Structure 1
């Protein structure tokens, strides 16, 4: 794979990045990561988080980090730090009905896989339903995917959680909507997308985003991804993101 260079990244005006496993190390933010985010802000390179984490968690994270905003629930909603607002990206006619239907699909999966447990942050979600990935195997995850698809829902997973979601809802679609509305001066060539796991796959689709980066731990999933990142960092997790950030600072 071609190594990343400053020249390759020279057109970039915005970094759209996953969070867990990409900005974290062993599930935590590091001092190095916070310094990197501050340095990017000083250099006027805005960072937009695109995560599968819940609306409740992300509203707090977006407020405290030096970023322009965050997309939560794999493209479900957006927290805008520029004007302190939030907005749904996924169109939901009836929230109560939507949550109930997601719960029914989860209960169906639970009847087939009794070991799955609702995620701690599921109570703070709006557009999707999550459970911990635990020790689930690739064949089990594929069975869950088919089950959700058969019932009209999408399914994806990260290093920490599995998501039952509206079919059209993914990170690339959500990011495209926010870029079109709030960053319309940017072209896809001016955005670099960053991730580490299967729920980031849409961000690696070159038809949408020609310049994408996987932190090194993405290689654990390379055999499960139809769309691969254009570049891969030398280091894993937060160190990989910091490696990328140094090209801008």
Structure 2
């Protein structure tokens, strides 16, 4: 399937999205620009909040890293580690994966990483592993698509699952992904919402589960998701013209009442 068969965001209007009450959004490459939050990032979140639209962060970043975001940003909470843990705005944390012994789990993850490193000696563990609970990460800058597929296969053989983003590769428990985590959090924390009131948005393969139309019928990709379209089974239903946070802002314009859409975008 190619993106030419998808609906470009500029062809939508506010009426098409009038029922949306919650956005489940990836962070890196979706809410960032060149790896950073831009000057109008918080104002966009505040405008959505004022319009009655909650933003729930759904990221592969570590629980430690995300706990700071939840504390400072006007969001309804955050799912960290690709569906591994939910962080409430009040500081409470809910483990979303079934992990009986966390200490043993961390040791098994690290051992798995070192076994994979025997096949790919240049792999570098990410600096944030000390802040992680449910998964193990490494940098993907120098890895080819074939390398990533080989690592994924190796993880499956060892009883783990694997995904990656534009930032990191993730070794994680089977069945732990963003969609499963988001579905659990929606049922437990936002049970008043129906699927047509929830919108998902992302930019890379670790967001793919949130593009599954059987789970989330309204999904969006910012334009940089095109880089991965040949590597993903599920693609977003709609795509923005702009990449990264500028693409998210396109979406926000359509969701916000009385916003002015720039037809030249």
TM over 0.5: yes
Aligned to 1:12: 20
Paired with 1:30 and 1:212, the residues of 2 have a C-alpha distance of 23
Aligned to 2:200: 193
Aligned to 1:63: 71
After superposition, what is the alpha-carbon deviation per residue over 1:23-74, rounded to whole angstroms, capped at 9, x for unaligned? 0011000012222111111111100000000000000011111101000000
Aligned to 1:114: 121
Paired with 1:65 and 1:123, the residues of 2 have a C-alpha distance of 23
Paired with 1:243 and 1:120, the residues of 2 have a C-alpha distance of 33
Paired with 1:8 and 1:91, the residues of 2 have a C-alpha distance of 38
1:104 Cα offset (Å): 1.0
Paired with 1:127 and 1:103, the residues of 2 have a C-alpha distance of 11
After superposition, what is the alpha-carbon deviation per residue over 1:214-237, rounded to whole angstroms, capped at 9, x for unaligned? 000000000001000000011000
Q: Which runs of 4+ in 1 moved over 6 A?
A: none
After superposition, where does 1:142-153 map in structure 2 within 5 Å?
A: 142-153=149-160
Aligned to 1:3: 8
After superposition, where does 1:201-220 map in structure 2 within 5 Å?
A: 201-220=208-227
Aligned to 2:262: none
Q: TM-score, normalised by structure 1?
A: 0.98
Secondary structure at the counterpart of residue 251 of structure 2: helix
- For structure 2, the 5+ residue unaligned runs are 1-5, 257-265
Paired with 2:31 and 2:48, the residues of 1 have a C-alpha distance of 14
Q: TM-score, normalised by structure 2?
A: 0.92
Q: How many residues align?
A: 248
Paired with 2:51 and 2:40, the residues of 1 have a C-alpha distance of 17
Q: 1:31 aligns with which of 36, 39, 45?
A: 39
After superposition, what is the alpha-carbon deviation per residue over 1:103-146, rounded to whole angstroms, capped at 9, x for unaligned? 11100111111111010111100000000111200000000000
Give the conservation status (yes or no) of the 8 Å contact 2:67–2:91.
Answer: no
Aligned to 2:260: none
Give the conservation status (yes or no) of the 8 Å contact 2:125–2:139.
Answer: yes
Aligned to 2:261: none
Aligned to 1:167: 174
Give the conservation status (yes or no) of the 8 Å contact 1:32–1:242.
Answer: no
After superposition, what is the alpha-carbon deviation per residue over 1:141-174, rounded to whole angstroms, capped at 9, x for unaligned? 0000000000100000000000000011000000
1:7 Cα offset (Å): 2.2
Give the conservation status (yes or no) of the 8 Å contact 2:84–2:181.
Answer: yes
